[in-house]
Amino acid sequence: MATMDAAAMSRRNDTSRPGEFELIARYFAPLAGEGAFNLLDDAALVSVTPGKSLAMTQDAIMAGVHFFPDDPPHTIAMKALRVNLSDLASKGATPKAFSLALGLHPDWTEAWVAEFAKGLADDCDAYGLSLSGGDTFLAPGGPVISITAWGEIDAANYKSRLGARPGDRLFVTGTIGNAALGLMIRRNDQRLVNLDGAAILYSLYLAPRPPVSFAPIIASHASASMDISDGFIGDLEKMARASDVDFEVSALKVPLSPQVRDAVGKHPELIHAALTGGDDYQCLFTVPPQRMDAFMADIASQSVQVTEVGIARPGDGKVGVAELSGNSIGSGKTSYSHF
Amino acid sequence: MATMDAAAMSRRNDTSRPGEFELIARYFAPLAGEGAFNLLDDAALVSVTPGKSLAMTQDAIMAGVHFFPDDPPHTIAMKALRVNLSDLASKGATPKAFSLALGLHPDWTEAWVAEFAKGLADDCDAYGLSLSGGDTFLAPGGPVISITAWGEIDAANYKSRLGARPGDRLFVTGTIGNAALGLMIRRNDQRLVNLDGAAILYSLYLAPRPPVSFAPIIASHASASMDISDGFIGDLEKMARASDVDFEVSALKVPLSPQVRDAVGKHPELIHAALTGGDDYQCLFTVPPQRMDAFMADIASQSVQVTEVGIARPGDGKVGVAELSGNSIGSGKTSYSHF
């Protein structure tokens, strides 16, 4: 509902914190867009351009599971939103608006909410989004944030993870493993805490940077696409199973940031964490051979890093990874590949 | 995302529970509808009939806040879904589909999930809904359930809570106060536990019964509409403020179930709980005088109970309630009326 209706909020007799309506009016109503009734109504009226469909996704993040309770509220908001934006980008959809269910810890402070809302506001500006509505409530064990985001798309251009065919080339956006190593830094891994790029890796754990601007290229050229949220290898296996193909991947081709490359250079075993850890929020997609020329022409004029990492083969859902040593390693049984 | 992507689930090494994919395939994929890719994809493709818009709402419920952790999973699911259906009904929209973010307590069992999914399945059948996707995750302090639901609507017929005008007549669907007294029964209120209708009131606390079939009549005739979730008086004040009118209400006209009437007969003070307690999930709406004939004709042929309870007057957001004793009582400062 567009009213962020937080009865439980106002039932607490805490005069040092704003009530639900003040909270919404002060921090969230400024983010409201068309059809959101300034967050005063029970729902939102979502208009859709004639001939278009919506790509819609809902992803939640929870304190102690997806982020640390003392992470900066600003980046918690960004992570909560961006884990949805990566889903939309991978479908070929440009995000338009979102709704927010915000479960606040019983000891929430106005400062926390202000910083959280600032994070959302910054991303609304950066990505051209508006808030359509939602809900606030008290969440013991929270904060917990559930966002539903959507964007318009031509139905024929929606790209699921089911469409890869043998011979299709496999690509990934951005670089892989930054957040996995960032989380290890947060956990004080002694191999990493003194790395030159530790702060950069940690910042990418706090707030991913999904390739939102890349959506039109996926819409135009991909045969299958998904975001990488649970680890590169594991998610590639999901695409292999969903599309009923095998993938051959060269680990040497998987794009790594200078920071991850540095870490792996010093501690080679970290490549496993980079390729199987989660929170990349990049796009993994396939391009049919006959689309390659047009695809290559299109990516030449945009800024998202794109790397070819493998190829689809006839099969039944397995992933073979040629490791750094050059050995091919089969997988397919577990949620990620064992090296 | 249509894949209910529960990385956290599979990271627990508990072989007695199904992994995320088994969980989704077994219990949630059977609820998947058009555009949901059998819950195998990151998002859903939502088609919209040309010329139509969507009414969209997102409401969450949390253990220990909106329900008791040991409530039946079947009714927890129904409550989680129906608190959204009442929002849509009040907007004049018939629900079509929903997505689900399901935060499971770390000690979740397969039996709990099976019962929860059964509740959703029963409501999908009852209301003609399908599941488009969502997310599962571990939620310390949970379960927490965030549902986003939508239905198609003619944009011109979307009814916000902002449109009431002086002279409009005020109506409510169903009966008021059942769930408030049901919650008091759950809390072992000695005035109520031995009431003949205690089980009925408690069941209405566990799973509300929003007037989903009434949506077309609201779409056709209402000038303003909202659902009653935080209590009849408090929500009426919200409508008064949003529409910038005053309301005059007769407490004697507010429809009560036989069970609440019985309870109030024995303990007259309970009328306050009935009129200010929450969880009614009925519709509160206004009808302009010139629509009254057509409105009365339309409600004659449908089954939802409708009661006229007051009238809008020129004003600035106050609610005056003629109490059972006949005295008029002003309000407007707090989130509910003090009697």
Burial class (CB in 10 A: 0-12, 13-18, 19+), A263: buried
Report helix, strand and coil shares of chain A as percent, to nearest 5. 40, 25, 40
Instruction: Return the pLDDT at A10.
Output: 45
Query: Quick one: which of B46, B137, B142 has its CA closest to B95?
Result: B46
Cα separation, A24 vs A40, whole angstroms? 9
Give the DSSP per-residue string, B51-118.
T-EEEEEEEEEEBTTTB-TTS-HHHHHHHHHHHHHHHHHHHT----EEEEEEEE-TT--HHHHHHHHH
Please answer yes or no on whether A42 and B57 come within 8 Å at the CB atom: yes
pLDDT at B328 over 60: no
Of A37, A103, A148, the CB nearest to B99: A148
Q: How far is Cα B324 from Cα B321, in angstroms, rounded to an integer?
A: 9
Task: Give which of A209, A174, A186, A199 is closest to A81, Cα–Cα.
Answer: A209
| B52-69 mean pLDDT | 96
Cβ–Cβ contact A41 with B under 8 A: yes
Q: How far is A327 from chain B (nearest CA, A)?
A: 27
What percent of chain B clears pLDDT 70, i.e. is strictly above it? 91
Sheet holding B224-228, edge to edge: B224-228, B282-287, B169-173, B306-314, B245-250, B319-322, B328-329
Q: What is the pLDDT of residue A5?
A: 44
Q: What is the token pair recorded at A27?
A: 């921090």
CA distance A243 to B4: 17
Q: Complex ipTM, two decimals?
A: 0.91
pLDDT tens for A18-38 read: 988 899 999 999 999 999 999
Non-local (6+) Cβ contacts of A332 within 8 A are A237, A240, A317, A318, A319
B142 with A141: Cβ contact below 8 A = yes
DSSP assigned state of B156: G
Helix axes A198-206, A178-186, angle to 10 degrees: 100
Which of B1, B91, B101 shows the shortest C-beta gap to A42?
B91
Residue of A nearest to B140 (CA): A141
| Residues in A touching B162 (Cβ below 8 Å) | 37, 40-41
Q: CA–CA separation, A197 vs A258, rounded Å?
A: 8
Nearest CB neighbour to B42, from listed A41, A43, A90: A90
Spans in chain A with pLDDT lower than 70: 1-15, 323-339
Q: Confirm if A118 and A172 have CB atoms less than 8 A apart.
A: no
Owner of token pair 């109520």: B192
SS3 B153: strand
Residue A311 host element (H or E): strand A306-314
pLDDT digits (tens, 9 = 90+) for B273-316: 999 999 999 999 999 999 999 999 999 989 999 999 999 999 99
Nearest by CB: A56 against B44, B61, B144:
B44
Question: What per-residue confidence (pLDDT) applies to A323?
Answer: 66
Contact, A291 vs A219, CB < 8 A? no
- What is the Cα–Cα distance from A149 to A100, expressed in whole angstroms? 9
Q: How far is A57 from chain B (nearest CA, A)?
A: 4
Q: What mean pLDDT comes out for the span B91-111?
A: 97
What are the distances in angstroms from CA B74 to CA B3, B9, B131, B211?
22, 21, 16, 20
Contacts of A10 in chain B (CB under 8 A): 335
Tokens of B193: 């536990």
In sequence order, which residues have a C-beta less than 8 Å from that of residue A141 and are 6 or more positions away? A62, A63, A64, A105, B139, B140, B141, B142
Strands in A282-287's sheet, in edge-to-edge order, are A224-228, A282-287, A169-173, A306-314, A245-250, A319-322, A328-329
| B64 CB-near residues (< 8 Å, 6+ apart) | A140, B141
CA separation for the pair B172, B189 (Å, rounded): 27
User: Would an 8 Å CB–CB cutoff place A37 in contact with chain B?
Assistant: yes
Structure-model confidence comparison of residues A327 and B334, the more confident one: A327
- What is the DSSP secondary structure assignment for residue A28, as one 8-state letter? I
User: How many C-beta atoms surround the C-beta of residue A13 within 10 A?
Assistant: 5
Among A58, A244, A333, which would you mutate to test the B interface (most chain B Cβ atoms within 10 Å of its Cβ)?
Answer: A58
For residues B254 and A134, give the distance between their C-alpha atoms in angstroms, rounded to a whole number. 29
pLDDT of residue A11: 46
Q: Do A59 and B101 touch (CB under 8 A)?
A: yes
d(CA B118, CA B109): 14
- pLDDT tens-digit series, residues B226-272: 999 999 999 999 999 999 999 999 989 999 999 999 999 999 999 99
Which of A335 and B328 is assigned the larger pLDDT? B328
- Rounded CA-CA distance A117/A137 in Å is 15
Helix (H, G, I), strand (E, B) or coil at B285: strand
- CA A84 to CA A268: how far, in whole Å? 32
- Neighbouring C-beta atoms of residue A261, cutoff 10 Å: 16
Interface test with B, best of A22, A48, A53, A56 (most B CBs within 10 A): A56
The average confidence (pLDDT) of chain B is 91
Q: What is the pLDDT of residue A92?
A: 98
A137 interaction partners in chain B (CB closer than 8 Å):
60-62, 65-66
Residues linked to residue A226 through DSSP beta bridges, in sequence order: A284
Tell me the chain B residues in contact with residue A148 when contact means C-beta distances shorter than 8 Å.
56, 58, 99, 148
- Determine the distance in angstroms separating the CA of B57 from the nearest CA of chain A, rounded to an integer: 4
Whether A148 contacts chain B with CB within 8 A: yes
What's the pLDDT tens digit per position in B133-154? 999 999 999 999 999 999 999 9
pLDDT of residue B16: 77
CA gap A182, A197 in Å, rounded: 10
pLDDT band at B335 (very low <50, low <70, confident <90, very high): very low
Q: Measure in Å the smallest separation between the Cα of B253 and chain A Cα atoms.
A: 25
* Residue A207 CB coordination number (10 Å): 22
Tokens for B259, please give them: 């069970």
Residue A14 confidence (pLDDT): 55
In DSSP terms, which residues pair with A328 in a beta bridge? A322
